[in-house]
Amino acid sequence: MKETWAVLETEHYTFHYQEGSLAAKEIGQIAAEQEDCHRQITEKLVFTPRSKITYWLCATRKDLMEQSKFDFETNGVTFTDPDDPQIYAVYNDECKCTGFHEDVHAIMCQYANPSSSAVVEGLAMYFDRVWWGIPNDRCTRVYLEDGKYEKVEKMITDNDFFYYQVSDIISYPIVGAFTAFLVEAYGIEKYKKLYHESDDMAATFAQIYGKSLTEAEDEFVKEIMGRTYSAEEMAQARKELYS
């Protein structure tokens, strides 16, 4: 990269940003917001990570791919080395890929490495709370009503299914809503125990929660279908998700 990179050190981050970029103009705000995200994540999870997070704020997806040497263009990616977690994020007028999601990955890779990608992404989406501005639970309700819902059990126990057979437009908000359901119904400590699983997710889930994934998912679906949303809220969700 020929760009000149500046550096800002904060308590929990090392930010790299291109001089003259939008990130350079807003670096103080970015740093403050990410430190607040870090505080909220670690307080909720009652976990203190040992390593600072390195952020590379890239002007475009192409810049991100070139800087990170990642396989394809994307808005954000985290390299989860627990001793040196690094986040590459696009930051421009159209896309500001900061906030909770990648930071959850960078923090939690220092806690455990579960075998299920859906559990990893579900926790990040739990903190995000929304997908394209629509709450995860409302996205899930839309997919249930429209016949587009995919089984949580299948996504949690089959990484190939989660990543390659289901669109992230559908998978991410559903696992985020399911994670919220588990945390709110059964507490964060049980989810943290689940996060330590590294072999058989279905068996570990049943041991921790005293019920199968299928039974928990049935409870989750019933809870989502029992919620009340206005016609305007559902119409807005469909517009954002299907446009």
What string of DSSP letters covers 73-123?
Answer: --SEEEE--TTS-EEEEEBSSS-B--SSHHHHHHHHTTT---S-HHHHHHH
Hunting for tokens 């839309």 — which residue is that? 142
Higher pLDDT: 210 or 1? It is 210
In this structure, the dihedral spanned by the alpha carbons of residues 166, 170, 176 and 181, taken in order and rounded to 10 degrees, is: -100
191-215: per-residue pLDDT in tens?
Answer: 999 999 778 999 999 999 999 999 9
Q: What is the structure's pLDDT at 3?
A: 65
- Name the residue ranges covered by the structural domains of the chain: 5-108, 117-242
Region 71-82: mean pLDDT is 95
- 161: DSSP letter: I
149-166: per-residue pLDDT in tens?
Answer: 999 999 999 999 999 999
Q: How much is the mean pLDDT over the chain?
A: 96
Residue 121 near residue 172, CB atoms below 8 Å: yes
77-108: per-residue pLDDT in tens?
Answer: 999 999 999 999 999 999 999 999 999 999 99
Ramachandran angles phi, psi of 78, nearest 5°: -120, 130
How far apart are the C-alpha atoms of 113 and 116, rounded to whole Å? Answer: 9
* 3-state DSSP assignment of residue 69: coil
Per-residue tokens: 153: 């059990």
pLDDT over 60 (residue 1): no
Q: What is the structure's pLDDT at 2?
A: 52
Comparing CA positions, the residue from 36, 237, 12 lying closest to residue 127 is: 36
Per-residue tokens: 230: 């206005």
Which of 3-7, 122-126, 190-194 comes out lowest in average pLDDT? 3-7
Q: What is the structure's pLDDT at 197?
A: 79
pLDDT over 80 (residue 182): yes
